[in-house]
Amino acid sequence: MKMPVPSFRIQIVVLVTVLFVAASLFFRSYFLGSFQNYQDQIQFLELTDKINELYHQHRSSLSPQEQEKYKDQIENLLIDVKQIHLAGDLFEREISLYSIFIFFFLVGTVLLIFLVTFGMITRPLMRLQEATKELGKGNLEVQVRESKFSPINDLIVSFNTMASELLENRNKLIEAEKEMMWREMAQVMAHEIKNPLTPIRLQIQRLEHKYLMGSDDFEQVFDGVIKIVNEEVDNLQSLVNQFRDFAKMPSANFDYYNVRQQIEEITMQYDHQADIHFRADDDLPEFYGDKMQMKQVFVNLIQNAIHSMDEDKTLNINLSFEEPNFIFTVEDHGSGISKEDQDKIFQPYFTRKKKGTGLGLAIVKRIVQTHDGNIKVQSTTGEGSTFIIRIRKNSNDFSEDK
């Protein structure tokens, strides 16, 4: 089992503690050792023995009265020497106790000062680190609480200023993108609405001309005009519906269901239009998503694939599961997509079709992203295209987040 590595703060605290304890113990040992050397030097002098020897040498040359007085002086001197040794022993004991007290006091004081100072640096750094993670997730509203006494307060102020500027720039960019999107949408709408209005106007003028001229084939022309007008009105209705679906995507209703069965039911509806080969892994887990939205994804991709194929109407659809992702692939043998267009096909309003709004794949991408997935295309001009969708196997919590 791999041992967890302690955090940088713990490593610094342990390192400083070990160094200070080692230094304190060294100085304590050095001080006590020096005092012990002093005691040893006093013992080495052997003052008691020398005084006794001096007393015996000079006692015989003195009178009895002088001997008694000399003896008292020698005894007093011996008592002083013993008091010196006793005082030294007591002082050594006191120094030993005081050194222990001073050691713990200094260690505690220094550690307290160090932890307070260290905290003034590391706590703002931790807050700054968490804010950086939030910023990386896209939360540009994050701000770090300033600490005037922290030495890195200038860095915190700079970070907060940068985050505020990023938020302001993002809002400006969003507004600019919205304005550009509405301009493009207005252009597309104007163009797409103009296309069916032109034949409607021409057919109405033709019908009016026939009516005023009293033509014999008026009824036949009337039926043709009505048919064309109805077709163009249907095109207009379809155009409006596509814009409505893109502008207001309904909220996803997530639930578990059998996605394999869903694709099989969808492909059966297009058997008469293409030779569809559907393959799926055995023992697939249940898919967690919005069934109606995912149906829109599959229908859109299948229809696009069928429309892109002229001669070879073979369509391959594969479904597999590689923990933790479902993988959907739709492969056609159509005209393919040029390299310069592959990065644009998922953008709203981009299309190379004569009749189309360029919203189909944009809606597909939005639905896939709502399901915490991604979509990409691999295509070769003249050979065909393959759309690949990866969607993570989700839990119930995911729907709440969305």
- Considering the domain architecture, whether residues 279 and 343 belong to the same structural domain is answered as yes
- C-alpha 326/C-alpha 393 separation (Å) is 7
Residues 149 and 120: beta-carbon distance below 8 Å: yes
Residue-level pLDDT at 317: 92
Q: Is 38 helix (H, G, I), strand (E, B) or coil?
A: helix
**pLDDT tens profile 34-65:** 666 666 655 545 566 666 666 666 666 666 77
For residue 200 the two structure tokens come to 């409607």
Is residue 128 within 8 Å of residue 156, measured between CB atoms? Answer: yes
Residue 19 falls inside a structural domain: yes
- Lowest-confidence pick of 132-141, 157-166, 286-295, 384-393: 132-141
Average pLDDT of the segment spanning 213-226: 81
Structural domain count, the chain: 3
282 with 218, same domain?
no
Bin 381: left if φ > 0, else alpha if -120 < ψ < 50, else beta: beta
pLDDT in tens, 338-362: 887 777 777 766 665 655 556 678 8
Domain of 66, in residue numbers: 8-136
Which of 347, 359, 344 has its CA nearest to residue 240? Answer: 359
pTM of the model: 0.45
How many angstroms separate the CA atoms of 320 and 315, rounded? Answer: 17
Judge if 62 and 175 occupy the same domain: no
Q: Residue 389 is inside which H or E element, if any?
A: strand 384-392
pLDDT higher than threshold 60 for residue 11: yes
Above 80 in pLDDT, residue 331? yes
Considering 11-15, 117-121, 165-169, the range whose residues carry the highest mean pLDDT is 165-169
The fraction of the chain above a pLDDT of 70, given in percent, is 70
User: 181 φ, ψ to 5°?
Assistant: -65, -45
Asked if residue 2 belongs to a domain, the reply is no
Query: Quick count: other Cβ atoms within 10 Å of Cβ 250?
Result: 9
Answer yes or no: is 157 within a domain. Answer: no
Residue ending a domain, among 222, 247, 272, is 247
Q: Which of 80-84, 85-89, 227-231 has the highest mean pLDDT?
A: 227-231
**Cα–Cα distance, 302 to 296 (Å, whole number):** 10
Distances 14 to 7, 44, 113 between C-alpha atoms, Å: 11, 44, 15
pLDDT for 88:
67
